[in-house]
């Protein structure tokens, strides 16, 4: 099989949560360009509409599904709707997430629950539903979990995001555990750990500390609009068929400096 064939996603269906903007939309572009039919979810219907128009202008086949992934009871119905509309899901990208900043000693219980519910609970229950509905029966599938370099260490000075860091660390070990359990079904499960990318979630933090983060990064830059495309293409395609249970940091080298 040629390298082009290894990366070809023609005929595949990819579900991307939080796919209406930012990193999710970037990954939707990448997988769509390789031929996948794209299903994107987000809470806000108008953002989904704008994202769909953006993707369609690039010739990408896309369907939208308004959904709040923190409403765990609605996950089976979402998967049912995606399968009925675009077909069995071959690729799942668990990208939707949230953060909340507060010192640990003052961290609100409702904030902790909000972050954990979206960042790890929904990741498990969506993977479970997609796995048993689409991937386990066909003995094939690709799951890409979006963790974070924040899940690999404690907080840098000036950040108070204990729930976010904890949840993303959980995503990393969830990825390892599910990969070990589902390898027998031919399902690859891997994680991407982005560093700092400009986004709606990071806007406030980067406006205050962006220069400091850049200065501590060996490549001397923040993440950009193309920087997740290659890795998600690898992990979603046959090019990664012998890679599972791994996490890869995309942070310009900041986590090793």
207 within domain boundaries: no
Q: How many residues does the chain have?
A: 257
CATH at residue 66: 3.40.50.720
134 within domain boundaries: yes
- Per-residue pLDDT, averaged over 109-124, amounts to 98
217 within domain boundaries: no
- Report pTM: 0.94
* Alpha-carbon gap, residue 234 to 152, rounded angstroms: 22
Catalytic residues: 164
User: Residue 205's pLDDT is what?
Assistant: 56
Report whether 48 contacts 68 (CB < 8 A).
no
pLDDT for 217-234, tens place per residue? 889 888 889 999 999 999
- Domain span at residue 113? 3-196+224-256
Residues 6+ apart with CB under 8 A from 127: 92, 94, 143, 145, 178, 189
- Per-residue pLDDT, averaged over 104-110, amounts to 96
* Alpha-carbon gap, residue 12 to 39, rounded angstroms: 11
Domains in the chain, number:
1
208 within domain boundaries: no
* 84-98, 215-229, 237-251: least confident range: 215-229
Q: For residue 67, count other CB atoms closer than 10 A to its CB.
A: 22
């Amino acid at each position: 099989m040629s390298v082009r064939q290894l990366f070809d996603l023609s005929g595949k269906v990819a579900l991307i949560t939080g796919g209406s903007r930012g990193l999710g939309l970037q990954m939707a572009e990448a997988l769509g360009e390789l031929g996948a039919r794209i299903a994107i979810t987000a809470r806000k219907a108008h953002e989904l509409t704008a994202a769909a128009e953006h993707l369609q202008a690039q010739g990408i086949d896309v369907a939208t599904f308004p959904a709040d992934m923190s409403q765990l009871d609605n996950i089976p119905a979402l998967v049912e709707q995606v399968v009925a509309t675009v077909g069995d899901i071959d690729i799942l990208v668990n990208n939707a997430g949230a953060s909340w900043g507060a010192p640990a000693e003052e961290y609100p219980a409702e904030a902790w629950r909000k972050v954990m519910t979206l960042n790890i609970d929904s990741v498990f229950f969506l993977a479970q539903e997609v796995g048993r509905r689409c991937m386990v029966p066909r003995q094939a599938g690709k799951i890409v979990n979006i963790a974070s370099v924040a899940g690999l260490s404690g907080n840098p000075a000036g950040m108070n995001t204990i729930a976010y860091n904890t949840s993303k660390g959980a995503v990393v070990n969830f990825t390892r555990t599910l990969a070990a359990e589902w390898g027998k079904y031919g399902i690859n499960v891997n994680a991407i750990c982005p560093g700092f990318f400009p986004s709606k979630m990071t806007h406030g933090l980067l406006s205050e500390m962006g220069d400091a983060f850049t200065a501590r990064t060996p490549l001397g830059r923040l993440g950009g609009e193309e920087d997740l495309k290659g890795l998600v293409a690898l992990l979603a395609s046959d090019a990664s068929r012998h890679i599972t249970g791994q996490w890869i940091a995309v942070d310009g080298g900041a986590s090793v400096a």
